[in-house]
Structure 1
């Protein structure tokens, strides 16, 4: 599996929102843009897809912005990658005719690998990443995959509300 820049930026933006209190003021895209070094218009594009998949909610008006639609413990990395279309529920490998047994076994192996990748990413939540980055994750050991991935996608603190 190869993640696109869109996938990476979506994960980093969601991690940044996860570091912010979901019940406090929402995070402005301008503030997020400044902290992540991603253009505001590109973030608008990313957040429209994340909003359609129920991962973020936008609040309009003065002091408006975005916040996680659910607690960080309930949003997995797989959820984000489904929203960006990097993952699908469909099997990526079509099974060949049963006449070629070795091809059928290989295709079934790829299906199983794809299922395991989806399951693995579904078990990793935004909260796991934030805790791993903060160094106090009781669920994952310090040398865990989520700790490693958290170092690849560092969450950035962002300002709340509208910025000038």
Structure 2
């Protein structure tokens, strides 16, 4: 199982926002882009989608940025992955429309891979965003290490 880059970046945005929760100022796209060396324009699209799904509150203009709309403990990672991934078809035979495998009706591989995918998603369902960020005391240091790049504002 492999996550798309879109999902990877989505999780990074959410984790960064969760780690910075409680700061006086909101997180900016530029800040995350620099910390993770990701394109601002790509992150802008991800942030727009997260805002449309009710996960981020975004504010424009001077002093703007983004914050989580809900506590990190209420954001389920399995749900986020399901929202951002386009399909979980591990092999061709998972799709009724594109399946050309002649062994489908006699093959046990499809059942095995279906169970593996379900187990994978069950693991993600057992985790919240809060589980993925350091405890409060370690959070400031973790964010500071991420943000220790030239041109970034000093950590709050």
Asked if Structure 1 and Structure 2 have the same fold, meaning a TM-score greater than 0.5 normalized by the shorter chain, the answer is yes
* Residue 128 of structure 1 pairs with residue 118 of structure 2: no
How many residue pairs end up in the alignment? Answer: 135
Unaligned runs of 5+ in 1: 137-154
Aligned to 1:93: 94
Cα distance, 1:76 vs structure 2: 2.5
TM norm structure 2: 0.67
The TM-score normalised by the length of structure 1 is 0.64
1:66-100 residue CA offsets vs partner (Å, 9 max, x unmatched): 11121111113223322322566xxx83589xxx7
Correspondences of 1:14-163 after superposition (within 5 Å): 14-22=14-22, 24-85=24-85, 93=94, 102-103=106-107, 105-131=108-134, 156=146
Give every structure 1 segment of 4 or more consecutive aligned residues whose post-TM-superposition deviation is greater than 3 Å: 155-160
CA contact (8 A) 1:22 1:67 kept: no
Summarize the Cα distance change of 1:131–1:23 in structure 2 as closer, same or farther, 3 Å threshold.
closer
Between 1 and 2, higher relative CO (CA 8 Å, sep ≥ 6) is seen in 1
Per the alignment, in what secondary structure is the counterpart of residue 131 of structure 1? coil
Separation in structure 2 between the aligned mates of residue 76 and residue 156 of structure 1, nearest angstrom: 24
- Give the match's secondary structure for 1:17: helix
Q: Describe the superposition over 1:110-161 as per-residue Cα deviations: whole angstroms up to 9, x where unpaired.
A: 22222221111111222111137x779xxxxxxxxxxxxxxxxxx935979x
Task: Out of 112-121 and 54-63, give the one that drifted further.
Answer: 54-63
Question: In the aligned structure 2, how far is the partner of 1:157 from the partner of 1:73?
Answer: 24
Unaligned runs of 5+ in 2: 140-144
Measure the CA separation in 1 of the matches of 2:146 and 2:40. Answer: 15
